[in-house]
Structure 1
Amino acid sequence: MTAKVSVILPVFNGERYIRKAVESVLNQTLTDFELIIVNDGSTDNTLNIINEFEDSRIVLVSQENLGPGAARNRALEKATGEYVMYLDADDWFSPDAFEIAYAEAKEKDTDFTFYQMINYDDVSGKTYPNDWFELKNFDESFEDRVFSPDEIKGSIFDLSVGVCQKIYKISFLREIDAKFPEGIFFEDMPFFYYVLLKSERISIIKRHLYFRRKHDESITHVVDGKFLDTVPAGQELIRIFIENGWYHTYIYDLLAYKINGPRFALRDIEEKYKVDMYLLIKNDYDAIKQSQYYQDYLDNLGPVKKKFFLDIIASENYEDFTRLNQQNSGPA
């Protein structure tokens, strides 16, 4: 029998937080769901904690550590629900999240629906908003109606790409063969843009349905080695836009977005990763220079991003790049 909502929860060594995440699902006001937990090669006490829950709605999948993209793809193949919602192991849902999100998606027959998230600081115990998670890019004219990607053409790169902030119609995801990139972090980003631009019916819910925990181990809390993956994630994004005929429509904002992710990562990443980060970007830009798209970057990048792009290409090593980039460097 088909559940109304399939919840996909990948977890790797999540013993500190997994209990609260699972309980937030099991205590929902909408009870017709399945919870697919993918134990992604955990080596701590995660699996024992999961096994403490005795609930027929839990489907446990165990695999070697392949990362969140592979875990989510495998879970989606198993999902039997009408709609799917995603949960990270250190976060949790509000008690009425499924009821509200499902009702909205079902009533408006959306391909996917955004809802608000709110940050929770693990140290202070306080919640705080930010503009992305508040859906501030959608003014009142978007509320309580269905819209298409064409209506937000100029602002798609200002949207939250996080997969956990939406409820998706499973038949739609399968129809378009939506898959997460595997083996890299920041896998939400290319997935989101593919799904967004393939969709026709979108809506928003201005309610906080999801709590996003910020702590020392959060992927985006420290700019560490995971941020090396901003390069392959950006390459995947460009591939998706080119292959689906969206590249020229969004070229100016797309190329700025492509450059800025790794540019800021190189600026902020821990010192021990800077050379590796530089080399990834250098290899990427050298390949672009040899491609048919090189002139597009020269024609469409703003002065600061263009200087960064050309300094990387002109440099022979990270020290050389640092010297070049500091010359006549404008504001970020």
Structure 2
Amino acid sequence: MKVSVIMPVFNEEKYVRKAIESVLGQTLDDFELIVVNDGSCDSTLDIIRQFTDSRIKLINQDNQGPGASRNNALRHARGEYIMFLDGDDWYCPDAIETAYSEAKSRDTDISIFQIIKYDGKYSKNDWFNLDNFDETFEDRVFNPHDSGDFLFDISVSASQKIFRRDFLERIDARFPEGIFFEDMPFFFYTYLKAERVSIIKKHLYVRRKHEGSTTEHVGGKFLDTVPAGQILMDIFIENGWYDMYKFDLIAFKINGPRYALMAIDEEYKKPLYTLIKEDYEKIKATPYYGDYLENLGPVKRKFFTDIIASGNYDDFLRLSKK
């Protein structure tokens, strides 16, 4: 078939019906929908089983997290192209047809489309609206390095893209497992490995904003900003991209946990500090330590050095106030 839509779900009983219906109602019908029930303990599985459409393939597994769920589905996918849908979001009616037509006609490895947010009303933002891509990127194929000036300002969401399946297989693309924020390393690896990319300045995907969304509440999931950043750094070093992007890469790596530490629930502040401290101590013992000191701006550099100089979280707070 033309497209495999991969949808991992975990306790999405409020939203999963709409997500599935948005796929089944698409203007293009040559697809498979691979739904991965990741150990839901509410009525999610019962709702999925109410659908009898033969294009739905159900994978029922113990809870393994979003990365493992997507990887499991990728092993079963047979579509020419791959798309991702979160269980609390939905597609616009022509999403699959528009994305497939763009990717197929331009022979792209990845094509990126716009997302619109919904929290009772629809709203746009620069991140999901692809505003960083000016008119020179429209209606053409480009190399990902053409967007190097704003690489770290591109939305990392896997759900915002259509991927050629044999491209993902050729580069052995997999999501990190056992952590949240798995989209981020996956995006940078696949995007920089791609040779042909295009954008679609049309809203094809609706992202529902609610309290249960991973990025809407700064809770324990944000502890994973540290390992996600470590994986990202390894990807850039192992693939020879580090020197090309180190200035923005280092800032990006520092900022994720830095913002998380400021906003995370009080009960997670000390555990997150400990993870950051351990990470920075490891960096100090590598050849890249000097790059952090030389390339970080004053605010991020002070955060970095205060973490290293501090003995514990309270000590860090005292240093950071100076």
Please classify the TM superposition score into its range, dividing by the shorter chain length: over 0.9
SS in 2 for 1:227: helix
SS in 2 for 1:278: helix
1:114 is matched with which residue: 108, 112, 115?
Answer: 112
- The answer for the alignment partner of 2:64 in structure 1 is 66
- The answer for the alignment partner of 2:238 in structure 1 is 243
- The answer for the alignment partner of 2:287 in structure 1 is 292
Letter of the 1:269 counterpart: I
- The answer for the alignment partner of 2:5 in structure 1 is 7
1:229 is matched with which residue: 207, 224, 231?
Answer: 224
CA–CA separation in structure 2 for the residues paired with 1:216 and 1:12: 15
Q: CA deviation at 1:303?
A: 0.8
CA–CA separation in structure 2 for the residues paired with 1:15 and 1:263: 34
Q: CA RMSD in A?
A: 0.5
- The answer for the alignment partner of 1:200 in structure 2 is 195
Letter of the 1:181 counterpart: P
CA–CA separation in structure 2 for the residues paired with 1:132 and 1:285: 29
Letter of the 1:57 counterpart: R
Q: Deviations over 1:135-179 (max 9, x none)?
A: 000011111100001211111000000000000000000000000
Letter of the 2:121 counterpart: K
- The answer for the alignment partner of 2:131 in structure 1 is 136
Q: Deviations over 1:215-237 (max 9, x none)?
A: 11111111000000000000000
1:24 is matched with which residue: 8, 12, 22?
Answer: 22
SS in 2 for 1:248: helix
CA–CA separation in structure 2 for the residues paired with 1:192 and 1:150: 14
CA–CA separation in structure 2 for the residues paired with 1:253 and 1:150: 14
Q: Deviations over 1:1-40 (max 9, x none)?
A: xx10000000011111000000000000000000000000
- The answer for the alignment partner of 2:252 in structure 1 is 257
Q: CA deviation at 1:252?
A: 0.2
SS in 2 for 1:62: strand
Does residue 311 of the first structure (1) align with residue 309 of the second (2)? no
TM-score normalised per structure 2: 0.99
CA–CA separation in structure 2 for the residues paired with 1:205 and 1:153: 19
Q: How many pairs are equivalent?
A: 322
Q: CA deviation at 1:296?
A: 1.1
SS in 1 for 2:111: strand
CA–CA separation in structure 2 for the residues paired with 1:296 and 1:208: 39
- The answer for the alignment partner of 2:87 in structure 1 is 89
SS in 2 for 1:200: coil
Q: Deviations over 1:289-321 (max 9, x none)?
A: 111211111111111111000000000000000
- The answer for the alignment partner of 2:215 in structure 1 is 220
Runs in 1 of length 4+ with deviation above 3 angstroms?
A: none
- The answer for the alignment partner of 1:277 in structure 2 is 272
CA–CA separation in structure 1 for the residues paired with 2:189 and 2:183: 10
Q: Deviations over 1:262-306 (max 9, x none)?
A: 000000001110000100000000111111211111111111111
Q: CA deviation at 1:82?
A: 0.3
CA–CA separation in structure 2 for the residues paired with 1:278 and 1:92: 36
- The answer for the alignment partner of 2:318 in structure 1 is 323
- The answer for the alignment partner of 1:147 in structure 2 is 142
Q: CA deviation at 1:67?
A: 0.3
CA–CA separation in structure 1 for the residues paired with 2:286 and 2:128: 37
- The answer for the alignment partner of 2:78 in structure 1 is 80
Gaps of 5+ in 1: 328-332
Q: CA deviation at 1:92?
A: 0.1
TM-score normalised per structure 1: 0.96
CA–CA separation in structure 2 for the residues paired with 1:44 and 1:324: 46
Does residue 266 of the first structure (1) align with residue 265 of the second (2)? no
How does 1:169-188 map onto structure 2 within 5 Å?
A: 169-188=164-183
The percentage of counterpart residues that share the same residue type is 65
- The answer for the alignment partner of 2:97 in structure 1 is 99
- The answer for the alignment partner of 1:330 in structure 2 is none
CA–CA separation in structure 2 for the residues paired with 1:287 and 1:153: 28
Q: CA deviation at 1:196?
A: 0.7
Letter of the 2:2 counterpart: K
- The answer for the alignment partner of 2:50 in structure 1 is 52
